[in-house]
Structure 1
Amino acid sequence: MLARFGLFIIGIGVFTSPNLNSLGHERLKLLSLTKAGSPPIRGSGFLSQSSSKNNRDQRYKYRVLATKKTSTMEKELNEAAEEGFKFEGVMGGETAFGGSEVVVVMSRDTSLERKGTYEYKLLATNRTSTVQKELQQAADFGFEYLGQTVFETTFGGKEVVVIMERDREAEIVHYEYKLLATSKTSTMQKELSQAGEDGYSFVGMTVAQTAFGGQELVVILRKPGSR
């Protein structure tokens, strides 16, 4: 019994030793200094000075393409793509000096390697049935819808213009496209509802005066292909 009591007293002496208390105090001080001086933990809401600097240093180059001929636009799109530029947006309309033109804006992140892996295809026709066919043909080769507009070309009159893109180094993702064109919004509602039931998602819309349909609402949809 006394032996056990003696061990208990020795144990208390060990854990209340001034040296160990001092060591514990030093460890607490070290922990406090580490917390105060250490960099932010990854995944926290704080950014280090280096990452903030990188964000401030990010720069973009832009290129504006404008032409009256859709064939010229496709050529210029691909020339810019070879320099590392990517499509950002398209609009057709009247410019101050060029008259009726299709205008495209492209951009390039200057911090990235200039690598031209993207390829563009421009579809232009005043027949909506032709757009449907050409859309699917391009999609079968890996091109994906980017945007559409309407403008009056030099030779084709008012045309629906669709721009598509593919990454030559990426795996092809197959899509099945559907084009709806009607002059009545009530009809479009019905056709859209049916297309939605069939799994098609909306990608773009224009209002255009086509050669045969007159003033038409043109909607493009797509769904993942079966291949």
Structure 2
Amino acid sequence: MTDNRVDRIKKIMKILNENYTIRVVCNRDPYKVLIRTILSQRTRDENTDQATENLFSVYPDIYAVADGSIEKIQELIKPAGFYRVKAGRIKEVSRILIDQYGGEVPDDLKELMSLPGVGRKTANCVLVFAFNEPAIPVDTHVHRISNRWGFVDTKKPEDTEKELMSFVPKDLWIELNDLMVQFGQTICKPTSPQCEICPIYDLCDYDPLNDEKDN
């Protein structure tokens, strides 16, 4: 693992900010952020967007979803995949939020993770994208890229999150996931990463041929 990780992540984030537009929007509807994040599990962004739009065009709020037909919800969210499981979770989460939280989404990590189908990544996404609270959601992009950069040497996303939180300045947490996801979708792809046009290649430990750059 390389030294000076704090300085290096600051340089990397500065470069990524120059190349991508932050998509984090504060004061969004926490319930819709939560449901969209549940729908996003194990599917592509465009499928998530379509399923989310379909759902809320018919059932516009938490009460409509909670009272909605499970079969209709399954039909609406089908583009997101695993639609039977996700529909059940969405209905159950909606009912719990109404019964236990007055229809509001909690802004607490542990309470969010107590909801069905809400793991650590989903909970952190809600904290960041709905409440503008510092957190580091670790999805497949963040996990992969953090290891490629040489900042972590981890097998599990939970370990990646813990390690990143130990050295990444807290004022960078909110934008970290958004920038790394965009970078992972366009340059640092799972296969055939475009190292030849990577704007941070000189700050990265990864080499597609040798897995390790020559010093």
Q: TM-score, normalised by structure 1?
A: 0.21
Higher strand share: 1
Q: TM-score, normalised by structure 2?
A: 0.22
Higher RCO (C-alpha under 8 Å, 6+ residues apart): 2
